[in-house]
Every structure is written in structure tokens, then in C-alpha cells.
Amino acid sequence: MEKVVLAYSGGLDTSIIIPWLKENYGYEVIAFCADLGQGEELDNIKEKAIKSGASRIYVEDLKEEFVRDYIFPVLKAGAIYEKKYLLGTSFARPLIAKKMVEIAEKEGAVAVCHGATGKGNDQVRFELGVKALNPHLKIIAPWREWDIKSREDAIDYAAKHGIEVPVTKEKIYSRDRNLWHISHEGGDLEDPANEPKDDLYVLTVPPEKAPDQPTYLEISFEKGVPVAINGKAYGPVELLMELNRIGGANGVGIVSMVENRLVGMKSRGVYETPGGTILYTAHDELERLTLDRRTLKFKHEMAITYAELVYDGNWFCKLRYALDAFVEETQKTVTGTVKVKLYKGSCQAVASWSPYSLYNEELATFGASEMYSHKDAQGFINLFGLPLTVQALLERKIKGE
């Protein structure tokens, strides 16, 4: 019997895919679950998979690799998709695809399978990852093949086959959770006119219910990588978990947005990224202190391209590798500490310091300075404004003035 490796989450879609694969392909189904920090969602995950019909299941703890090799590079790049989305689902998919390919090769499987829908971005992310790492593997995407048309249909299929799933027709949100964030889609959120309900949130409290006093944190970085909170060193996973806890308690990191999917449609999602929001705010402020104007400007422009590459599933492409080389060069001096203020959903950088600071108080002061002469500005302005002067003289000449 030929084998297929299924990217398994224990959720609605992947739970019903196991019996579907056996019925329609006759494959032996090997489930693979990536532990990226889903927490209690992974409780009894092995039993669920076997009960659903999988012959075996791999559950791999990838949290450290996820934060170190996928989250932190995107953070250092400053990449944000369409000014809002911190890419929590996007950069998880290539890691899952990588491990899925490794297990398929180990097991001698002929195919891999994912539960992404035919309308979403994840199908692209999974499949580009597989194509980049092992183009010989067959890819099966049930949502593009079966007769199930909706999550309601999927729930009915699960009930018919005696499969327990973590959703109902009343609580039908599609969620994706990892150490970085949790996303919410579907249900009443599909109408952008609907404000998210307070009981939707998992990682954060509604900002109105956050403490009445602000919380201050000092985030320290070494070469762009966060390493400490309030002077206490943390490992990558522990640091993010602690920031999620503190940020979530202060209502930080909630984003509701209508985004442009790669496949051509607009979709509405709600994201909770408390720790990530704190890190982006602090990292951005430290770069403002330690990078020169021209480098900072180019890096901001580059970040848009970087975010699109990640969002579109091009994690393993040459351009991203090249951009990473540029980013690493810029991060050599992004070392220091930033104080952030959390208050009822807001996150502000209020102070920063670094041994590589380019801020020179003697230059910036309004007082007397031996390094800067106000008189020098006149010649600079004359040269800088010379094109405008020439243009104005030409226009006046044409008008006969």
C-alpha cells in the first residue's frame, strides 16, 4: 500500500481528510503534526489521528526552530503585509512543508496532503514549499477535489464517520494558532460590517477591559534579535511566551482587516499578535536610533517586497535569501534596549538607548555646538535648492517676467 503524509492539525478539515484519503486513494495515511505552540489544541492529538484512521502520527516540537529561523528573520526584516498583518500563518507554512517533505522521504511516501481550501493562500504556501524541496512528490489538496462545499458540509461528513471535531455549526470560526499569533476567519466575520465580538479573543483581553494603569517593558536586542525583558535574559520561545502573556493582558495586538489574498479575492480576518506587536514596535524604534537615513529608507521599501514574498509562499526563493543577506548586514548595529508603554490596546516606544546610537546630542541640541555651524546651512540650502531655482527662472523667462 502506498503512503501519503498528511499535514494534520486535529481541526475540522484535516480530521475528515484521513478517512477521505483512504476511501478515495487507498493510501496508508501517515499524519504529521507540527507543534508550533498551539497549546491545548494538541491535547490527545495522537489519539485523534489514530481514531480517525491514520496508521501512525508524527508530532514534532518545532517551537525553537520556528521562532529562531522563521519568526526572527521576518521581524528583523520589518516585514508587514499591507501595513497590518504580521504574517503569523504565512511563515509557519514553509516550516510545516519542510518537515512534511522530510517525513515523506523517511517513510518512502509517494504523496503529501494538506487541508487548505481552494480559495485560500495556504494551498500556495504548502505547495510551493514542497515543490522547492522535493518536486517529485505528488500533492493532494482534497478541497479542490471533493464534493464538500462548506464547513457545514465538513461537519456533517465528520458526524457521519463518527469523527469528533473541535467546531460546531454555531461556533464555526476557522482559527490558526501558533506561538506568534492566532487568526480568526469565517462565521459573522465574513461580513466586514460586523465588529468582532469580545468573546472571539483567545490571547488578548478586549482593550476596554485592560488595566487602567500602563505597563512598561524594556526589550533588549542583540544584532536585531530580542534577548531580554526588563534586563532578564530569555530563550526565543520563552521570551515570546512572556510577551504574549503581558501584551495579551493589556489588550495589545488585535488587528481586524480586509486583506488581498494571493488568489485574487479580498478576505476579512481578525488577528491577535500581542508579543509580536511589542517586538515590532521595539525593533523599529531601535533601528531608527542605529541606522542611517538612507539605509533605513531602503530597508522600509525592501520590507514590502519581503512581506509579499512570505505572504505569497515564496519562502525558499533566491530573492528572499538575498534580502536576508542585506537584512543581516543592517542588523550588525541593532543592539540596545527600547522601553515600551502598553496601555489599553496601544503599544508605544517611549525611550531607547544603544552603544551604536547615531543620535548625537551635541549635533541635535538647539544650543551652541562646536560640531555644527548654523552658517553652513545657507550654502547647503543654495546647492540643494539649485534645481528649483533654475526651474523657477525658466518659468519666469517663459512668462516674460
Binding site per annotation, positions for ATP: 7-15, 34, 115
Between CA 239 and CA 83 the distance in angstroms is: 24
Q: How far is CA 355 from CA 97, 134, 291, in A?
A: 40, 45, 12
d(CA 351, CA 365): 17
Whether the Cβ atoms of residue 18 and residue 53 lie closer than 8 Å to each other: yes
Q: How far is CA 152 from CA 110, 115, 140, 173, in A?
A: 31, 15, 22, 11
The cell for 134 is 522535493
Given the residues 52, 55, 68, 93, the one annotated as active site: 93
- Phi and psi based region of residue 193 (left: phi greater than 0; alpha: psi -120 to 50; beta: remaining): alpha
Q: Which residues contact 399 (CB under 8 A, 6 or more apart)?
A: none
Listing DSSP states for 31-98 in one string gives: EEEEESS-GGGGTTHHHHHHHHT-SEEEEEE-HHHHIIIIIHHHHHHT--BTTTB--TTTTTHHHHHH
122 labelled catalytic: yes
Known binding residues for L-citrulline are 85, 90, 121, 125, 174, 183, 259, 271
196 grid coordinates: 468582532
Considering 52, 122, 151, 320, which one is annotated as catalytic?
A: 122
Q: Is 391 exposed, middle or buried (0-12, 13-18, 19+ CB in 10 A)?
A: exposed
Angstrom distance (rounded) from CA 1 to CA 38: 32
Would you call 174 a catalytic residue per the annotation?
yes
52, 151, 174, 352: the catalytic one is 174
Q: Which residues does the annotation mark as catalytic?
A: 13, 93, 122, 174
